Structure 1
Amino acid sequence: MNKIEQFLSHISLELGYSALTVDAYRRDLHQWADYATGGSLETLVPEDVTFSDLRLWVAHLAGSGSSPRTIKRKVSALRAFYRYLLRQGDISVNPASRLVLPKPSKTLPVNVRPEETSAILDADIPHDDFAAVRDRLILDILYSTGMRCSELIGLRDADVDTVKGELKVL
């Protein structure tokens, strides 16, 4: 079993990572190994990898159009792999520890104009259509209380007092 497979087995069996996480690490590490070895994964010698090799791969990813978020995820897999090798005593220096990554750009929230909000909240809805009434209630609650979507999703029947007209938001 090669070092990557040993690492994947370790994070799956000993650390209890989810199958989806292990699969993502597998894809990212195999992609790195394919790049580093020219497509022959079995010839990868992780001990011989240098910081410069990793920087070249990050530059290759950036040049091929990978988003900063994707690059960050792939480098996280590499960092975890090399930390594992360091703890196992397979390497003496972690070449991935010094990698500096660009921060992913943050998207600005989209605001709804007041006239659009009024048009949505003032529109007539058929009262015999459950989905339409439910959706209007959701919009009314979000707009009038300012609560977050996650707070509304977490709302339980016990948190609603229809007599007092109150919601308990956690």
Structure 2
Amino acid sequence: MELLWRNHDVFFQLLSFSLDMDFSLSQKNSQREYAKYFISYTSVFLVKDVLDLELIERKIGSKAGVFMRLFFNNELISNEFIREVIYKSEFIGRIEGYSEWIEYPLMLAAKSVISFSKEKGIGLNDVIPSSFNISNYLKEYLLSWAYEEGKLSNDAEMYFKLNFDKKYKMISSILENKSY
């Protein structure tokens, strides 16, 4: 596989064919299983950094969204790496249809950020990526989560209060009652 990875023409043609499989079908056949294995092996062992994902995105074009969905749903990909991809790379916003699969990896990345941050240590860009657009619903959810954990910085808390006042007041009320 390592040798194949270095031969970009052949490798990305095989990856593209693998991504054409319909994995939602309940019937298993060897071709579909080989394709799943190829994609999983690529995700776990060949993708070592964000540059590898950017290369895949460039080489497979419109199928990048399918690959990214499968990549982020692979349980062997570390949350640390997912966080790096989500928050420190610009290419996600270029992938067609990213809004259809971004919620799960974004929540995994946010979980990592919230879990390992100090009190009042999360800035707005630490929980809401600035490199691509997400829905207001998802912004509200992520900010609510960080606020409830007491991790939002003062600036991020102010943004939360100004843009999602109803949710901010509701959580503040709950937190106040909890402290008594």
Q: TM-score range by the shorter chain?
A: under 0.3
Tell me the TM-score normalised to structure 2 length.
0.27
Larger Rg: 1
Of Structure 1 and Structure 2, which has the larger fraction of its residues in helix? 2
Which protein, 1 or 2, shows the higher relative CO under an 8 Å CA cutoff with sep ≥ 6?
2
